Amino acid sequence: GDQGHEPPRHCPTYIYKVVLLGSTAVGKSSLAYRYVKNDFQESLPTVGCSFFTKIIRMESATVKLEIWDTAGQEKYHSVCHLYYRGAHAALLVYDITNKETLGRAKQWLKELEKEFLHDEIVIALVGNKMDLAEEREVPLFSSQEGEEFARSRSLLFAETSAKSNHQVKDVFMAVGKTWGKHEASQAWTGPLGRGCCPVALLPPSPSAPAA
Amino acid sequence: MAADVQAGRGGEEPGGGLAPGDGQHGERADSPTPGLAQGTEPGAGQEGAMFVHTRSYEDLTSPEDGGAAARSPEERRGEAAGPSSMEQISKDFSELSTQLTGMALDLEEEMRPGKEGKLEPAPQAARHDSVLSGKEEEDVTMDAWRMHRKHVFVLSEAGKPVYSRYGSEEALSSTMGVMMALVSFLEADKNAIRSIHADGYKVVFVRRSPLVLVAVARTRQSEQEIAHELLYIYYQILSLLTWTQLNHIFQQKQNYDLRRLLAGSERITDNLLDLMAHDPSFLMGAVRCLPLAASVRDAVSTSLQQAKAKSLVFSILLSGNQLVSLVRKKDQFLHPIDLHLLFNLISSSSSFREGEAWTPICLPKFNSSGFFHAHISYLEQEMDLCLLLVSTDREDFFTVSDCKRRFQERLRRRGVHHALQEALRTPFYSVAQVGIPDLRHFIYKSKSSGLFTSPEIEAPYVREEEKERLLGLYQYLHSRAHNSSRPLKNIYFTGPRENLLAWVTSAFELYICYSPLGTKAGAISAVNKLMKWIRKEEDRLFILTPQTY
Ligand SMILES: Nc1nc2c(ncn2[C@@H]2O[C@H](COP(=O)(O)OP(=O)(O)O)[C@@H](O)[C@H]2O)c(=O)[nH]1
Ligand SMILES: [Mg+2]
């Protein structure tokens, strides 16, 4: 692999593709960076699309997590569908201090629902910047928004903070876990003939944090 | 969105000189003379150039649609504004200045017609030797750095704001009306460059339909140079959208708000403006190479060349804003302006240091109608080495990503990794290496290769404003050397803090800065010695054997 350390021969490698979608500046890149590098930077403006990989080694298999992070700008829209094609999971990210961004995340959900069948993809709604709770615009418990909305569409839900490292790993693990349950018998074959099969990731975390 | 481009550029494409500048390759003279043929000067490629041959301004100013280029200067003069509109402009401009600075200006501006169309120095008009006194020009060059303030606006022809360098949204929309009054003045000529000179200000307009670019500058750059920077901004916008898409949008909807589409990329334009104020690459219209032993560079280039893929057009390795290696598809030439835009893109975002980026990008001088897809990544966390792989196929991410892996593997196998690391430790050389005591700094450009070399800026130019002042002096000499009506081939400038000498021939441009105590005779002998040194070092300072896939 490009990480320089090949997995042992007998141990199969599975590729798992996760895409991050949402408005500009909600913290998509920061979430990816936190998860892959366990670090936070104030400024990481994305141009086009960024691609990160993270190798997760388990006893019986290795999972190569591919994370696609898009700039989310209008001028790149026509290329976006390419990025989420073949995705196993999508994180729809909004910023809890900006209500508009939740609306945008819901629009992304519509697009995904057009592109994928119900069981084809695991979708998580992620409210980021929960360290800024005092500036919150999107309430955590209400019928229309956030968690309730996620539950009504059978999406996973979490509030995260890339900055203070809250629930970031858990979100990535959770989408991996649920996908394993849903897609136990299916294998996706991408353009390079890369197959995928279920893997037990870490135990899922509670989806709703204590506010 | 426009279809992807196929590599290649039709004969009808705009942009002027298409032929690479690998003209005549005679003997490589040891000590260059003014008569040195292009292609034999130090730094000229031995097997042809990497870049499209450029001739400075006219290359930048040639319009995308090629329409206006063919028209004679007489035709254009006929379209200059009459006296009544000039009055109006004076008035508008006084309002504009007030809004920009918060104080009224005494407006006795001289109105000058544009200098477009005759940008190529007329050889008969060239004075062969000229001495400029620092007294006469003192205020010019002193002020250049202190009054370093330049507003830049981009608007659509319908008057909608597109970009503003400093102004907030509100300030922007309040000045736009005035801008538009000024712009209506350009109506007649679609690709005109016009300027207004006021007390300490220049307002320069460049119109590239459907956009109008305006700079309000207190710098003492010539209007040509300011226009040159505005054109870079124009190309920067094209690189995000393509010329085709931009035109399509405004044909559909004249008063479209382009800011929607450009949202998030303002900082790329901001960065370009900052970069142009610090990096002589833009002034020289040329590319600087990372100093590197030829054997190491060759090994790097060969590794790049071997890590190819069908869809790849250019593989570019860079460090900071210096070129390490460039491998291109046979018969495809990159334009230095396009490379500058790529340099700017990379320096404008720290995010390229993480992961791999894959982004559509238009290289407007290569083909302004379509997107390439660029794979951008750094080789290693701690190393300032950025790899740019330019592909024609947006689906090819994994193939291109694999090229990167193969390139790194080859680098390791060739064992040049360590040598590269060493070279990166000292990305700039000291002028002391030349061994001329009075010499403080220089810029040397080989015209046929489109490459230039320049040492690190050292004492006494330590503080940022001192560095800018030095660049301001070079800008000043450059504008004098390239003045459209009275170009100068040799300029000798004496000032209280330093002396400078500029020497421009058909093959190279040389600007040197030396001690104020140095004499003119001393400077001339320094030039000879310096040219010999550059010749001796050329395979380290330049890329003499560019490679193709
Ligand atoms: N306070 C806070 N700021 C964050 C968080 N995540 C991202 N940011 C900031 O939000 C801005 C946009 O983040 P970025 O990751 O570039 O957003 P993207 O455009 O969605 O990729 C940056 O200034 C980040 O530093 C977070 O969890 N908490
Ligand atoms: Mg981002």
Closest to B73 in 3D by CA, of B88, B83, B58 = B58
Q: Which is the closest atom of ligand 1 to the Cα of A166?
A: 27
Mean pLDDT of A85-102: 92
Which residue has a Cα nearest atom 1 of ligand 1?
A129
Q: In whole angstroms, what is the distance from residue B198 CA to residue B218 CA?
A: 10
The answer to whether A76 faces chain B, any CB pair under 8 Å, is yes
The answer to whether A29 faces chain B, any CB pair under 8 Å, is yes
Give chain A positions within 8 Å (CB) of B390: none
B264/A45 Cβ within 8 A: yes
Query: Can you give the pLDDT at residue B471?
Result: 92
Whether residue A3 is contained in a domain is answered as no
Residue of A nearest to B357 (CA): A50
Residue A175 has pLDDT above 60, yes or no: yes
Counting residues of chain A whose pLDDT is more than 90, the rounded percentage is 31
Confidence band for A39, pLDDT divided at 50, 70 and 90: very high
**What was the ipTM of the complex prediction?**
0.77
C-alpha separations of B298 from A2, A114, B426, B542, B546 in Å:
25, 51, 19, 12, 9
Q: What is the pTM of this model?
A: 0.79
Residue B153 · residue B476 · CB < 8 Å? no
Tens of pLDDT along B342-380?
999 999 988 888 889 998 999 999 999 999 999 999 998
Residues of chain B predicted below pLDDT 70: 1-36, 47-48, 52-148, 167-193
Domain with A51, as residue range(s), is 13-185
More confident residue, A46 or A74: A46
Query: Could you tell me the residue ranges of all domains in chain B?
Result: 137-262, 287-426, 431-541
Mean pLDDT of A8-34: 86
Tens of pLDDT along B265-318?
888 999 999 999 889 999 999 999 999 999 999 999 999 999 999 999 999 999
Mean pLDDT of A133-154: 73
Q: In whole angstroms, what is the distance from residue B456 CA to residue B440 CA?
A: 10
Counting residues of chain B whose pLDDT is more than 90, the rounded percentage is 42
Confirm or reject: Cβ of A162 under 6 Å from ligand 1. yes
- The B residues from 462 to 491 touching A (CB cutoff 8 Å) are none
Q: Which of A19, A30, A95, A96 maximizes ligand 1 atoms within 8 Å of its Cβ, making it the mutation to test the pocket?
A: A30
Query: Can you give the pLDDT at residue B174?
Result: 58
C-alpha separations of A188 from A194, B136, B520 in Å:
7, 75, 75
The CATH number covering residue A19 comes to 3.40.50.300
Q: In whole angstroms, what is the distance from residue B274 CA to residue B119 CA?
A: 25
Query: Can you give the pLDDT at residue A61?
Result: 75
Residue A25 has pLDDT above 60, yes or no: yes
Residue A19 · residue B258 · CB < 8 Å? no
Q: Angle B397-414/B294-306 helices, nearest 10 degrees?
A: 140
CATH number of B137-262: 3.30.450.70
Query: Can you give the pLDDT at residue A91?
Result: 94
The answer to whether A73 faces chain B, any CB pair under 8 Å, is yes
More confident residue, A46 or B328: B328
Which superfamily is assigned to B287-426 in CATH?
Answer: Dynein light chain 2a, cytoplasmic (3.30.450.30)
Whether residue A197 is contained in a domain is answered as no
Residue A163 has pLDDT above 60, yes or no: yes
Give chain B positions within 8 Å (CB) of A73: 263-265
Q: Which helix (H) or strand (E) holds B87?
A: helix B83-101
The answer to whether A193 faces chain B, any CB pair under 8 Å, is no
Residue of A nearest to B356 (CA): A51
Do the domains B431-541 and B287-426 match in fold? yes
Confirm or reject: Cβ of A127 under 6 Å from ligand 1. no
Q: Which is the closest atom of ligand 1 to the Cα of A40?
A: 25
B394/A73 Cβ within 8 A: no
Q: Which is the closest atom of ligand 1 to the Cα of A32?
A: 15
Whether residue A107 is contained in a domain is answered as yes
Residue A109 has pLDDT above 80, yes or no: yes
Give the contacts of B139 (CB within 8 A, at least 6 positions apart).
none
Confirm or reject: Cβ of A42 under 6 Å from ligand 1. yes
Whether residue A195 is contained in a domain is answered as no
Closest-CA distance, B170 to chain A, in angstroms, reads 22
The answer to whether B395 faces chain A, any CB pair under 8 Å, is yes
Using only C-alpha atoms, what is the Rg of chain B? 23
Query: Can you give the pLDDT at residue B495?
Result: 86
B394/A79 Cβ within 8 A: yes
Whether residue A191 is contained in a domain is answered as no
Counting residues of chain B whose pLDDT is more than 70, the rounded percentage is 70
Residue B401 · residue B39 · CB < 8 Å? no
B360/A69 Cβ within 8 A: no
Write out the CATH class of domain B431-541.
alpha beta
Q: In whole angstroms, what is the distance from residue B184 CA to residue B187 CA?
A: 5
Confirm or reject: Cβ of A49 under 6 Å from ligand 1. no
Give chain B positions within 8 Å (CB) of A74: 260-261, 263
Residue A90 has pLDDT above 60, yes or no: yes
- The B residues from 229 to 268 touching A (CB cutoff 8 Å) are 240-241, 260-265, 267-268
A2/B355 Cβ within 8 A: no
Query: Can you give the pLDDT at residue A77?
Result: 60
How far, in Å, from the CA of A26 to the mean position of ligand 2?
8
Whether residue A8 is contained in a domain is answered as no
Query: Can you give the pLDDT at residue A80?
Result: 59
Closest-CA distance, B348 to chain A, in angstroms, reads 9
Query: Can you give the pLDDT at residue B96?
Result: 41
Residue B351 · residue B357 · CB < 8 Å? yes
Whether residue A194 is contained in a domain is answered as no
- Which residue spans within B329-479 are E strands per DSSP? 356-361, 372-378, 386-391, 439-446, 451-453
Whether residue A198 is contained in a domain is answered as no
Name the pairing type of β-strands B322-328 and B547-548: parallel
